Amino acid sequence: MFNHPIAYLNTNDGSGILAFGEGEILVGHEDDDLKLIDEFIQSNQGKHIFSFLSYDLKNNFYDLTSSHPDHIQLPHFFFWAPKYVVNMKFEHLEFLQGDKNSESLEFISYFLEEETDQNFHHYPFNFKPRISKEVYLEKVKGLKEEIQKGNIYEVNFCQEFYAENVDIKYPFDTYFKLNQITKAPFSSFIQFKDWMIFCGSPERFMKKEGRKLVSQPIKGTIRRGKDEHEDFDLKHQLENDPKERSENTMIVDLTRNDLSKIAKKDTVQVDELCAIYTFETVHQMISSISCELDENVSFSEILKATFPMGSMTGAPKLRAMELIEQYEDFKRGLYSGSIGYIKPNGNFDFNVVIRSLLYNRSKRYLSCAVGGAITDLSDPEKEYEECLVKIGKIIDGMQ
């Protein structure tokens, strides 16, 4: 059973979807035609399909390359129609795919035991930054110069923290420990061959219901307070921060433009602008943009119009991605990509892979990347501090 993929998409509201067992798989590489994705979805109509998408799919949509070291080495894309799919709401199990039998119930029982067991293992992960703070500050200053020259309006600049010689012997335990820290609405776990993905994401990339598409970019972060009074003050500070509102609004405009490529005329709208949402470790500024999808638009065409998500690139998108390649020094891979699933009726829901641990078992390498939006108003020191706020509790809490 464990030789086959496993996926768990967890909304942290008492419900989640667990997928496991053998099934048809599509693994994509850099030069593969994305029509393979549409063909896979078509050939598996009537089934639930689980997927992850690498940030470097950008190279299939734009004249771009990725030449930085790739220590995780995940595929460009992964689609899987599993044998078993179970909707789990509190203690109620609903089999959406596959039969309730001894094989499936044995695995579910083991999974639920791991979920309820709070005696987490301690992990001596020794995370190191790939670049020093001094180098980070210089790179942010360089990006601000690009902005001041008019080459870019906003760019999402990321750095990697990593640990080597890591052995993760208890994958579910590791995921549930991370989830206890983040308790995020787009949390997920995937195990596939030599890879494990532990994701504590608060951000939705794209949801489709019928002909309606919804994207909910996050731009704007501040830490949680030590008490209720400080927490309220920090939320108010974030809500009224001109720098944070500016960067959020720019990504809203970019997302509106992306959706307009595949939307029915005059259906793109901003449903919520710069709203403040509270999560376990941070407050975030989130906007919601929606549209009515034009007729006969395929899944790969939706990706071509909207991926990578603007919150992880910047604006204009193409120039931002060029500068990301120039200034960053690690290959993002699945980080700032997406994990999600497609329902039998064609509806889907995909997250943004942030606040995550990516693990390559054969290389014993663990990655935790983090970033933020750089604008003309950015203070390099504060940008660095924001990175530590976003992943500090993850790195410290996994010890």
Domains of the chain: 6-218+293-397 (3.60.120.10)
Lowest mean pLDDT across 56-60, 109-113, 116-120, 378-382: 116-120
Q: How far apart are CA 285 and CA 368, in angstroms?
A: 22
Give the count of beta carbons closer than 10 Å to the beta carbon of residue 71.
Answer: 18
- DSSP secondary structure letter of residue 316: S
Better-predicted residue by pLDDT, 120 or 16: 16
Mean pLDDT (the chain) is 95
Q: DSSP letters along 22-40, please? A: EEEEEEE-TT--THHHHHH
Over residues 182-187, the mean pLDDT reads 96
Per-residue confidence band for 2, with pLDDT thresholds at 50, 70 and 90: low
Burial of 399 (0-12, 13-18, 19+ CB in 10 A): exposed
Q: Which helix (H) or strand (E) holds 55?
A: none
Q: How far apart are CA 320 and CA 399, in angstroms?
A: 35
Instruction: Say whether pLDDT at 256 is over 90.
Output: yes
Over residues 274-285, the mean pLDDT reads 95
Instruction: Say whether pLDDT at 325 is over 50.
Output: yes
Instruction: Say whether pLDDT at 1 is over 50.
Output: no
Per-residue confidence band for 73, with pLDDT thresholds at 50, 70 and 90: very high
pLDDT value at residue 321: 98
Catalytic amino acids? 203, 219
Over residues 212-220, the mean pLDDT reads 96
% of the chain beyond a pLDDT of 70: 99
pLDDT value at residue 31: 82
